[in-house]
Amino acid sequence: MSGDLDIKADMGTETKQVETAEGASQELVYDKAAEGRLRRKIDLMILPTVCILYLCCFIDRANIGNARIAGMEKDLGMVGYDYNAALSMFYASYITFELPANILCKIVGPGWFLPLLTVLFGACSLACGYVTTGPQMFAVRFLLGVFEAGMLPGVAYYLSRWYRRSELTVRLGAYSITGPLAGAFGALMASGILKLDSFAGVSSWRMIFVIEGVATIVLGLIGFATLTDRPETARWLTAEQKHLAEERVRSERVGQTKVLDKIDKKKLLLGIRNPITMSTAVIFLFCNITVQGLTIFMPTIIKSIYANYTVIQQQLYTVPPYAFGLVVTFLVPMFASIYDRRQIFIIMSAPLGIAGYIIFLATKNTTARYAATFLIASSSFSLGALTNAQVSANVVSDTARSSAIGFNVMLGNIGGLISTWSFLPFDGPNYPIGNGLNLATQTGTLIVASVMLLWMRRDNVKKARAEEEELEKIQGLSAEEQEDLDWKHPSFRWRE
């Protein structure tokens, strides 16, 4: 049989034919109404907290861009490439701790781990408001990267414990919209904060870090009370709902007898070595050169377009592109979930970014260049949800999923490190090198995603032809050995 589920709707129930660990077919019947009520309850209890915590994460990472145009560099004595170096310090630690953090998230439990990280990176943001030199800012940004490293992969991994493959993409989209939302909201907050005379003994750009850091710490503390690790420990689910929550997720995992397995080195490596994980991580790397660059340098880009405007006006001009990107970032994962397809939507996102950067390179007209920021924002932010959903869909076990998502985000954020050096002072005010680099990454996304879609379809045909013979070869393996096959199980198919 196929590795995907055979789903039949009849009289308000769903009947699913799934593979057990021994390769036998088992019929599982669900009440669709009961499952709908469960899904809505999970959405209500899990998604708001996750979205708010990730919003804090993105704001605390990006607020340095708002502080920059409000006088931070001059006050700290930062010159030349010091600003780029401060950004790089964040990504140096962020990339290093990405994969270990997601494995630690599995060990500790997301319900405790994610709120703890939020409190810690909130404290780092707060500390940024009290630094007095460039090197001190470098050090605090390095610590910020350590504590933020586990958030993006941790949230994606956490949601995969609760949702089916087709449901996961739109939920990842729900928290991914916090990226453009953070850009818009952060700019509005910065504009409002800069109108204050002082706060907690600081003034000017320092208030941005202090006020947003305090808010993050408070929300992180609230997260300890509102997040729970997994369905089994959720006090707000009945016994029947807990069973349904686990069974519906397990039913999509070929050859698995349980949703949460113990950490296994073999499956950790399978999650990383998965062809879809590796190719999707390259796409996410390309994506992050654009997303992180846009997030950090958007105020600088807007300043180059509207050089004669006030600082507050420049801050406010960064809001509309983010707002437009927010809408697209929600709609694209929603349609990807409806059709249970991710790869084609990854492919479709690239042309908008390509068009945007061609405009940046082709004209100095301010109206056209500002319009280009809308195209770029709409093309990139949704890829965070799509790529993490894609690697999650193409592994089987919980352990492999934690390493696959961790690797995707880790490699992806090398793109974030590259982005910190994409818009350099000597390249301004039109930044042809930075825009050319981003045009190349958008084109790379289109090529890699298209090639991998063709490869998946071709390999699935080969797998189907050889399935019966391969199933006979594993009949003598124990249930545990068959679980360890993960995506190499004969009945597994690549999910587009």
Cis peptide before 320 (omega within 30 of 0): no
Q: The dihedral of CA 145, 385, 283, 63: what is its sign?
A: negative
The pLDDT confidence band at residue 214, using thresholds 50, 70 and 90, is very high
- To which H or E segment does residue 27 belong? strand 25-31
pLDDT for position 159: 87
Per-residue pLDDT tens over the stretch 401-411: 888 888 888 88
The pLDDT confidence band at residue 446, using thresholds 50, 70 and 90, is very high
Residue with tokens 């069973």: 243
Per-residue pLDDT tens over the stretch 137-166: 999 999 999 999 988 888 888 888 888 877
pLDDT for position 10: 39
| Statement: residue 440 has pLDDT above 90 | yes
10 Å Cβ neighbour count for 199? 15
> Domains in the chain and their CATH numbers?
6-237+258-474 (1.20.1250.20)
The closest alpha carbon to 92, from 150, 149, 156, belongs to 149
The pLDDT confidence band at residue 439, using thresholds 50, 70 and 90, is very high
pLDDT for position 23: 42
Distance CA 237, CA 230 (A): 11
Exposure letters 42-75 (e unless 16+ CB within 10 A, then b):
beebbbebbbbbbbbbbbbbbbbbbbbbbebbee
Higher pLDDT, 228 or 18: 228
pLDDT for position 346: 94
Above pLDDT 90, what percent of the chain?
27
| Statement: residue 344 has pLDDT above 50 | yes
| Statement: residue 28 has pLDDT above 70 | no
| Residue 358 buriedness (CB in 10 A; 0-12 / 13-18 / 19+) | middle
pLDDT for position 11: 39
pLDDT for position 21: 40
Give the phi and the psi of residue 190 in degrees, each rounded to 5: -60, -40
pLDDT for position 34: 86
Helix (H/G/I), strand (E/B), else coil: 408: helix
**pTM (two decimals):** 0.72
10 Å Cβ neighbour count for 26? 11
Q: What is the DSSP letter of 6?
A: E
The closest alpha carbon to 83, from 58, 59, 70, 64, belongs to 64
User: How large is the greatest C-alpha to C-alpha distance in the chain, in angstroms?
Assistant: 75
The pLDDT confidence band at residue 17, using thresholds 50, 70 and 90, is very low
10 Å Cβ neighbour count for 29? 10
Distance CA 274, CA 114 (A): 26
Distance CA 424, CA 411 (A): 23
Of 115-124, 265-274, 332-341, 375-384, the range with the highest mean pLDDT is 115-124
The pLDDT confidence band at residue 8, using thresholds 50, 70 and 90, is very low
Distance CA 348, CA 69 (A): 34
Higher pLDDT, 300 or 90: 90
pLDDT for position 3: 36
pLDDT averaged over the chain? Answer: 83
Q: Write the Ramachandran bin of 274: left for phi over 0, alpha for psi from -120 to 50, otherwise beta.
A: beta
Token reading at 245 = 């929550």
Distance CA 303, CA 310 (A): 9
Whole-angstrom CA distances from 50 to 164, 423, 442 are 17, 32, 29
- Please give the average per-residue pLDDT across 453-477, as a whole number: 88
Distance CA 145, CA 292 (A): 13
Sheet holding 6-10, edge to edge: 6-10, 13-19, 25-31
| Statement: residue 123 has pLDDT above 60 | yes
Beta carbons of 303 and 432 less than 8 angstroms apart: no
Distance CA 60, CA 182 (A): 9
